[in-house]
Chains A and B, each alone.
Chain A
Amino acid sequence: MDLTSLTIDAARSAVQERKTTALALAEAHYARIQKEDGQIGAFLTLSKERALEQADRIDRMAAEGKVLPPLGGVPVGIKDVMSTRGLRTTAGSKILEKYIPPYDCTAVARMEAAGAVVLGKMNCDEFAMGSSNENSAYRPVRNPRDLSRVPGGSSGGSAAAVAADMAVVTLGSDTGGSIRQPASLCGVVGLMPTYGRVSRYGLIAFASSLDHIGPLAKTVKDAAIVLRTIAGRDPMDSTSADIPVPDYVAELDRPVRGMKLGVAKEYFGEGLDDEVRQAVEAAIDKLKGLGCEIVPVSLPHTPYAIPTYYLIATAEASANLARYDGVRYSHRARGVKTLSEMYRRSRDEGFGAEVKRRIMLGTYALSAGYYDAYYLKAQKVRTLLTRDFDEAFRKIDAIVTPTSPTAAFRLGEKSNDPLAMYLADIYTVTADLAGIPGISVPCGETKEKLPIGLQILGKHFDESTILRLGHAYEQPA
């Protein structure tokens, strides 16, 4: 048995039936990390002690004949923006280089309570700000399919680790596309749940009204298993919804025949690569062949999504990142004489260029005289973008689009042009602004063998529908 190419159920069953052990699974993944990750760079920190302790607990359960929990013995990775008690959490930033959180993120705690074995923390763009993982303060992540190319971002390490069989599943976070876009570029499944579906407690805040935690996985079913594990009300996050969590896994096999799928012309316009267009159109044809009805819809405000996003996300970030002051837990500059000098120099040394750029833009958009023109204006357009979806979803069950306008680009290709980089999220940001769920499922590759992703967007709290569609699509014809 190849221990590093298993799905969640296959891994758990193998441990349950004593065909292998959780310890052997963890060690096989660490061996693979040892062999592959030098060139990929998906992991920032390994948590061997924590992993082996959990694996041992699961193996003892299996030996005693107890039924293992849903993720029993499954090796996972956690994006380094989620706090892990006693385990260094950097957010990909130098300013948190030595930060050891005193508590666990709820999503991580739920994964471990369900038996998951945390192998380590995944590399990402600094504070989840980026679309290529080149903004990590530690090292860029490289795409396992082509090491000269980016894995996407900001959950680049989470996507690359799954693509390279260094973890069965990983958790990522999505504020403007940071789960779905890297999933697309690395050829794995990435799910962003509805805002409020998964607690954000313990997630290092980037933009609080837009941040989502979700899984990156090898199959849609694995994503459904993880969502079922981490979803649901958490009293520690007042924006987590008190809405029952359906059994996403049990609902996967319900037929998709008769579902109405919206196709919006705004997602197939200028800037979309021809090969990506062809692959996504072929995917839509396959869904049609499965009995889905294709309905043209219009989301007329789509061209305004990126500017809206960059004002709201940066405004929220400028407030959230004010806490890194060099006093309680972040980097402090040496040799400073005054308090004010300490704040400034610590932040200047600790933050990277993109983070500073976003703090500056957000501070500007919130500053006296500009608040109405920028921040308030963007909040109003956010209403219009959300209404576009409300209107469309009256007639349809889900919307199908490309996840990213292009396949993986080369390292350095966009790193000197912030605007060009921001446009990598053109098909993903709108769902974050509206708070609706979205999934990216692999749908073929370019001539250069680079993965392409199909994005399926759903109604608020209707992850079941997009998971079912993704699952049906993923089955061989």
Chain B
Amino acid sequence: MKVTDKDVAYVADLANLELTAEEHAGMLRDLNSILEYVDRLNELDTSDVPPMAQVSDRYGVDESKQGSARFAYASREDILEGLRKSLSQEEALANAPDADGQFFQVPKVIER
């Protein structure tokens, strides 16, 4: 078993998930079974292989430039009014489970 009960509790905490006892047991079983399968990646020697984070690096990148200038294709002027209008306060709050017309409301953060 790679993943222990303690690991499941720790990762659930990191992920802001509250698991029931039943979910916790299922997660322990599934994560171990998936990670065991994933271990086959260790059959490959990747010591000289660069990581690939995304596909976009394959087009548009100007290799003759340095630093962020290489990604000029993806940048644009920083404009005040943006490419579309910002949401109004009313629109921004429309989907909130709790709001007072001005702010999102959440349970009290600071105890006094």
Identify the A interface with B (CB < 8 A): 98-100, 102-103, 195-196, 208-209, 235-236, 238-239, 241-243, 301, 303-304, 306-308, 310-311, 318, 322, 325-332, 336-345, 347-348, 351, 353, 356-357, 359-361, 363-364, 367, 374, 376-384, 386, 418-419, 422, 434-435, 460-461
> CB distance A342 to B107 under 8 Å?
yes
Residue of B nearest to A345 (CB): B18
A254 to chain B, nearest CB (A): 24
> CB distance B44 to A329 under 8 Å?
no
Give bound CA distance, A246 to B92, whole Å.
38
- From the candidates A345, A356, A434, name the one contacting B55 in the complex (CB within 8 A): A434
Give bound CA distance, A419 to B35, whole Å.
10
Contacts of B59 in A (CB 8 A): 196, 241, 243, 460-461
Give bound CA distance, A460 to B92, whole Å.
38
> CB distance A364 to B106 under 8 Å?
no
Q: List 21 A-B contacts (CB under 8 A).
A: A102-B91, A103-B84, A195-B54, A209-B53, A243-B59, A304-B40, A327-B96, A342-B106, A345-B18, A348-B19, A357-B27, A361-B31, A363-B11, A363-B14, A364-B35, A377-B42, A380-B52, A384-B46, A384-B49, A419-B34, A460-B59
Contacts of B62 in A (CB 8 A): none
B15 to chain A, nearest CB (A): 4
- From the candidates B37, B49, B54, name the one contacting A419 in the complex (CB within 8 A): B37
Residue of A nearest to B8 (CB): A360
Residue of B nearest to A212 (CB): B55
B3 within 8 A of A: yes
- Inter-chain pairs besides A307-B41, A329-B96, A381-B41, 4 sampled, C-beta below 8 Å: A238-B75, A348-B19, A360-B17, A380-B50
Give bound CA distance, A461 to B59, whole Å.
10
- From the candidates B16, B30, B50, B54, name the one contacting A344 in the complex (CB within 8 A): B16
B80 within 8 A of A: no
A120 to chain B, nearest CB (A): 20
B1 within 8 A of A: no
Residue of A nearest to B59 (CB): A241
Residue of A nearest to B85 (CB): A103
> CB distance B55 to A209 under 8 Å?
yes
Residue of A nearest to B27 (CB): A360
Residue of A nearest to B43 (CB): A304
> CB distance A318 to B106 under 8 Å?
no
Contacts of B54 in A (CB 8 A): 195, 208-209, 239
Q: Enumerate the 9 nearest inter-chain pairs by beta-carbon distance, A residue then B residue, closest first.
A: A435-B55, A379-B51, A329-B95, A332-B97, A344-B18, A380-B46, A238-B74, A195-B55, A307-B38
- From the candidates B39, B44, B104, name the one contacting A328 in the complex (CB within 8 A): B104
- From the candidates B19, B34, B49, B51, name the one contacting A356 in the complex (CB within 8 A): B19
Identify the B interface with A (CB < 8 A): 3, 7-8, 10-12, 14-20, 23, 26-27, 30-31, 33-35, 37-44, 46, 49-56, 58-60, 73-76, 83-84, 87, 91-92, 94-98, 104, 106-109
Give bound CA distance, A304 to B43, whole Å.
9
Contacts of B10 in A (CB 8 A): 367
A15 to chain B, nearest CB (A): 31
Q: B14, B34, B60, B104: which has the most chain A beta carbons within 10 Å?
A: B34
Give bound CA distance, A311 to B42, whole Å.
13
Give bound CA distance, A380 to B49, whole Å.
6
Contacts of B104 in A (CB 8 A): 327-328
Contacts of A325 in B (CB 8 A): 16
> CB distance A360 to B46 under 8 Å?
no
Contacts of A435 in B (CB 8 A): 55, 58
Residue of A nearest to B26 (CB): A353
> CB distance B46 to A377 under 8 Å?
yes
> CB distance A339 to B109 under 8 Å?
yes
A380 to chain B, nearest CB (A): 4
Contacts of B76 in A (CB 8 A): 235
Contacts of A382 in B (CB 8 A): 51-52
Residue of B nearest to A100 (CB): B95
- From the candidates A308, A363, A460, name the one contacting B58 in the complex (CB within 8 A): A460
Contacts of A361 in B (CB 8 A): 31, 34-35
Give bound CA distance, A307 to B52, whole Å.
15
- From the candidates B3, B12, B83, B94, name the one contacting A235 in the complex (CB within 8 A): B83
A302 to chain B, nearest CB (A): 12
Given contacts A209-B54, A356-B23, contact A367 B40 (CB under 8 A): no
- From the candidates A311, A338, A353, name the one contacting B107 in the complex (CB within 8 A): A338
> CB distance A339 to B107 under 8 Å?
yes
> CB distance A359 to B84 under 8 Å?
no
Contacts of A384 in B (CB 8 A): 44, 46, 49
Give bound CA distance, A383 to B96, whole Å.
41
> CB distance A383 to B51 under 8 Å?
yes
Give bound CA distance, A422 to B60, whole Å.
33
> CB distance A347 to B16 under 8 Å?
yes
Given contacts A359-B15, A367-B11, A383-B52, contact A374 B109 (CB under 8 A): no
> CB distance B11 to A364 under 8 Å?
yes
Given contacts A331-B97, A380-B46, contact A419 B31 (CB under 8 A): no
Residue of A nearest to B76 (CB): A235
A413 to chain B, nearest CB (A): 18
Give bound CA distance, A236 to B83, whole Å.
7
B87 to chain A, nearest CB (A): 6
> CB distance B60 to A242 under 8 Å?
yes
Give bound CA distance, A378 to B52, whole Å.
9
> CB distance B27 to A241 under 8 Å?
no
